[in-house]
């Protein structure tokens, strides 16, 4: 696959449904805009593009990133994750080649806004999208506009004098193709990360792992969790892309709880992924959740770990209620919270902030 063409690798990458795949570009295309994704940190894919567009990289270093000094790459991972210089050169060449009206950066940790501005010039609107802790090395003033699904981040950006808009996350019905016809079903699942930014999540999941035999935890490795934690017995492994969607599509109940920095706001992608795949969403009772779903009718909420455990036990015993709420949640997501709907909202935002989109 590494030796395959850029188009072939991009197709395989999108078919995997990893991350947001081609959800944004297909949504923008469907409303009449030209759009494409660039996976700036995908070494083989980016090197394939460079091989095929060598005229756009005259005089630039094309030393394969994996041959660069290991110590330097390790230093970057430890002290500030930023894109390798070679990959930055390729990304800059892509921006010059495609001449976009809008450059939307989904990884502000990795890709410096200034590099995007230098490559795009003054004609493009440089937009950053983030809903996680903002590290100190990010210079927000390099962006013309910031998007976030977290209202508290939007308010903070505006207070700092940076134009910012609320833009919620979404679901793409293309992910439903991952739904498995297998008879194997799951009872109660959580699919996601655990880190120092997830204090409330640790408490909740440990409660479920200790008291609910049907509970399964999926996500990145949990080597950092103390050996005595009941999470280790509940942990089943990693689930990404199509595997994650298949898992959610076969889960009776998907548990969700937000990152601590979300405060009392509802925002994360699990809200839409779980409901979109037809699983009943059991989520923390955030004050603006009702702006997205109707609690009690389209999703079920809890305000503490013990209440979550009670709700799980009730829902597992009442299949008709569980299926009715799951169906209503899926209908709401497929009607309202799609990438096509978000693309329309984003197009209006970009135009209002000065983008001349073609």
Residues 138 and 252 in one domain: no
Write the pLDDT tens digit of every residue in 210-262. Answer: 999 999 999 999 999 999 999 999 999 999 999 999 999 999 999 999 999 99
Q: First-to-last CA distance in the chain?
A: 33
Residues 153 and 178 in one domain: no
Q: What is the pTM of this model?
A: 0.90
Helix, coil or strand: residue 68: coil
Let me know: does 251 contact 186? Beta carbons within 8 Å: yes
- Domain count of the fold of the chain: 2
Structure tokens that stand for 192 in this block = 């996601």
Residues 115 and 97 in one domain: yes
Least confident of 60-64, 93-97, 136-140, 278-282: 60-64
Closest CA to 110 of 80, 154, 68: 80
Instruction: Compute the Cα dihedral for 265, 263, 158, 354 and give only its sign.
Output: negative
* Residue 72 included in any domain: yes
CA distance 240 to 127: 26
What does the pLDDT average to over 317-332? Answer: 97
CA distance 99 to 120: 7
Q: What is the DSSP letter of 137?
A: T
Residue-range definition of the domain harbouring residue 263: 174-336
* Residue 358 included in any domain: no
Write the pLDDT tens digit of every residue in 15-62. Answer: 999 999 999 999 999 999 999 999 999 999 999 999 999 866 655 544
The CATH number given to whatever domain includes residue 155 is: 3.40.50
* Residue 225 included in any domain: yes
* Residue 178 included in any domain: yes
The CATH number given to whatever domain includes residue 246 is: 3.40.50.2000
Residues 153 and 242 in one domain: no
Let me know: does 266 contact 299? Beta carbons within 8 Å: no
CA distance 116 to 191: 33
């Amino acid at each position: 696959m590494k030796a395959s063409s850029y188009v072939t690798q991009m197709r395989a990458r999108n078919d995997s449904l990893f991350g947001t795949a081609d959800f944004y570009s297909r949504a923008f295309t469907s409303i009449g805009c030209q759009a494409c994704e660039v996976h700036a940190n995908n070494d083989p894919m980016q090197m394939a593009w460079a091989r095929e567009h060598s005229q756009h990289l005259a005089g630039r270093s094309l030393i394969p990133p994996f041959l660069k000094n290991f110590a330097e790459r390790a230093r970057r991972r430890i002290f500030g994750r930023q894109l390798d210089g070679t990959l930055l050169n390729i990304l800059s060449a892509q921006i010059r080649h495609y001449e976009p009206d809008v450059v939307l950066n989904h990884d502000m940790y990795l890709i410096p806004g200034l590099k995007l501005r230098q490559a795009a010039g003054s004609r493009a609107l440089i937009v950053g999208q983030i809903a996680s802790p903002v590290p100190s090395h990010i210079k927000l003033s390099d962006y013309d506009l910031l998007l976030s699904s977290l209202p508290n981040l939007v308010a903070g950006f505006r207070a700092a004098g940076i134009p910012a808009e609320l833009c919620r996350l979404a679901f793409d019905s293309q992910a439903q193709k991952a739904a498995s016809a297998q008879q194997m079903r799951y009872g109660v699942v959580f699919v996601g990360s655990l880190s120092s930014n997830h204090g409330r999540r640790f408490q909740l999941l440990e409660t479920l792992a200790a008291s609910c035999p049907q509970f399964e935890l999926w996500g990145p490795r949990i080597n950092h969790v103390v050996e005595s934690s009941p999470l280790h017995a509940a942990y089943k492994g990693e689930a990404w892309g199509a595997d994650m969607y298949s898992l959610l599509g076969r889960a009776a109940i998907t548990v969700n709880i937000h990152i601590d920095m979300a405060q009392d706001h509802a925002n994360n992608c699990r809200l839409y992924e779980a409901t979109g795949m037809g699983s009943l969403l059991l989520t923390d009772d955030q004050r603006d959740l009702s702006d997205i779903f109707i609690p009690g009718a389209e999703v079920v909420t809890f305000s503490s770990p013990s209440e979550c455990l009670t709700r799980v036990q009730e829902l597992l015993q009442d299949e008709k209620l569980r299926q009715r709420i799951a169906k209503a949640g899926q209908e709401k997501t497929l009607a309202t919270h799609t990438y096509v709907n978000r693309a329309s909202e984003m197009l209006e935002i970009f135009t209002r902030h000065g983008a001349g989109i073609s």
